[in-house]
């Protein structure tokens, strides 16, 4: 049985919904009989996605919105439009994200754009949608798409890491706030994908690497873990088992506890120690 919110007649709003994980989630919701609104900045992809979803759910149950999640006024208009069209929101998936690459001393506008979409997009979505979701008095879900890079923060893409670390911290705070809000039946969840083959990760490749999951596999896993009640939805992939992810995350926390250099996993002085840690020695 799916999570009770993922049910016929309920309304799902998914940002970054025109492709990748967002479209896979929208498809799963449509197949469950939900009404679906997909929001994205890419108008042509939105139209294509809406056509696909309409074949599943019927055109009357599919809505699109050209939305820039980094702009408060754009997300405010999205929430208003969904309320006017479908009557409210039961499932909000703040999924829009970008990863164009970044360097520590790169252009500040580039940093602003990455953090604006990846982190402020999620903050905007939750802060703008949650009050009316709570006021409806119904059960609901807010799912925020994070990243393992927001936890282990590997070198090489600092703006992305900062944005996704912020998503983790914000979603934890959001769930704490929701569970301490009287008569609130909304729960928050942090989706932590593994290596998923999407336009974001393709980097010029046209065929899925064997190590990557498809967006559909990721959403299937997410749905199962929502049903189980997980807050942290930590996805494996075909290359990295969960046990290795856990070791990497524990090691990252150990940098603070053991007072090691930051990002010590990539420090030559700690390479052997990390290898032994992974092996459980």
Beta bridge partners of residue 36, listed in sequence order: 12, 62
Say if CB 59 and CB 49 are below 8 A apart. no
Q: What is the pLDDT of residues 134-160, one digit of tens each?
A: 999 999 999 999 999 999 999 999 999
Mean pLDDT of the chain: 95
Residue 161 predicted with pLDDT over 70: yes
Residue 170 predicted with pLDDT over 90: yes
* Cα 207 to Cα 176: distance, rounded to the nearest angstrom: 41
Beta bridge partners of residue 38, listed in sequence order: 14, 64
Q: What is the pLDDT of residues 111-124, one digit of tens each?
A: 999 999 999 999 99
Say if CB 36 and CB 49 are below 8 A apart. no
* Cα 15 to Cα 94: distance, rounded to the nearest angstrom: 5
Residue 240 predicted with pLDDT over 90: no
Token reading at 158: 């600092």
Give 214's DSSP letter: P
Q: Which residue has the tokens 């070791």?
A: 247
**Dihedral sign (CA 221, 136, 177, 17):** positive
Is 270 among the catalytic positions?
Answer: no
**Rounded average pLDDT over 74-97:** 98
Residue 203 predicted with pLDDT over 70: no
Beta bridge partners of residue 64, listed in sequence order: 38
What pLDDT shows up at residue 209? 76
What pLDDT shows up at residue 237? 84
Which residue ranges form the domains of the chain, and what is each CATH number?
11-239 (3.40.50.720), 241-280 (no CATH)
What pLDDT shows up at residue 3? 96
Question: Which is the catalytic residue, given 111, 160, 251, 274?
Answer: 160
**Dihedral sign (CA 238, 167, 64, 134):** positive
What pLDDT shows up at residue 160? 98
> Which residue in 172, 213, 170 sits closest to 193, CA to CA?
213
């Amino acid at each position: 049985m799916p999570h009770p919110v993922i049910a016929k007649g309920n309304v799902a709003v998914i940002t970054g919904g025109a492709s990748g994980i967002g479209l896979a989630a929208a498809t799963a919701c449509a197949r469950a009989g939900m009404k679906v609104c997909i929001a994205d900045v890419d108008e042509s992809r939105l139209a294509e996605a809406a056509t696909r979803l309409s074949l599943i759910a019927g055109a009357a149950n599919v809505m699109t919105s050209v939305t820039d999640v980094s702009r408060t006024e754009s997300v405010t208009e999205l929430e208003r439009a969904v309320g006017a069209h479908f009557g409210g929101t039961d499932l909000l998936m703040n999924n829009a994200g970008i990863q164009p690459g970044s360097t520590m001393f790169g252009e500040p506008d580039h940093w602003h754009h990455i953090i604006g979409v990846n982190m402020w997009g999620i903050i905007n979505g939750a802060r703008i949608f949650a009050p009316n979701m709570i006021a409806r008095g119904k059960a609901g879900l807010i799912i925020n798409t994070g990243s393992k890079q927001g936890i282990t923060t590997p070198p090489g893409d600092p703006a992305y890491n900062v944005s996704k670390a912020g998503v983790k911290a914000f979603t934890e705070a959001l769930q704490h706030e929701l569970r301490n809000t009287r008569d609130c039946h909304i729960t928050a969840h942090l989706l932590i994908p593994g290596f998923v083959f999407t336009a974001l990760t393709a980097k010029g490749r046209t065929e899925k690497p064997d190590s990557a999951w498809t967006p559909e596999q990721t959403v299937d896993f997410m749905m199962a873990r929502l049903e189980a009640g997980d807050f942290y939805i930590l996805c494996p992939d075909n290359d990295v088992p969960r046990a290795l992810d856990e070791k990497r995350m524990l090691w990252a926390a150990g940098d603070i506890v053991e007072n090691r250099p930051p990002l010590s996993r990539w420090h030559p002085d700690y390479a052997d120690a990390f290898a032994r840690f992974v092996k459980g020695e």
